[in-house]
Amino acid sequence: MKITTAKIDGMMCPMCESHVNDAVRKNLTAKKVTSSHRKGETVIISDESITREQLEAALEGSGYKVLSVSTGEYVRKGLFHRK
């Protein structure tokens, strides 16, 4: 699984977070999406990597701008996670 962190410009309130989350869920195959207007970022957990172009296409016309995207391997931490 992959974790994609995107810096998003234009989110000002919790409703903006909801709009971004809904756009990502509608247009991309994501397992989990969380956004923070305070941090100005969206975190997406998915089976495959999400590119900047895919994210820009998902948010097109919404007024939100993708500033940067980074992707890495998602490591699930369970209740009894050991180092």
Reading the chain (83 residues) residue by residue, the pLDDT tens digits are 999 999 999 999 999 999 999 999 999 999 999 999 999 999 999 999 999 999 999 999 999 999 999 999 998 877 765 55
In this predicted structure, what is the pLDDT of residue 76?
A: 80
Domain ranges for the chain, please list them: 2-73
1-23 burial, b at 16+ Cβ within 10 Å, e below that, comes to: eebbebebebbeeeebbebbbeb
The pLDDT value recorded for residue 29 is: 93
Find out whether 47 and 76 touch, Cβ atoms under 8 Å. no
In words, the CATH class of domain 2-73 is alpha beta
Predicted local confidence at residue 77, as pLDDT: 78
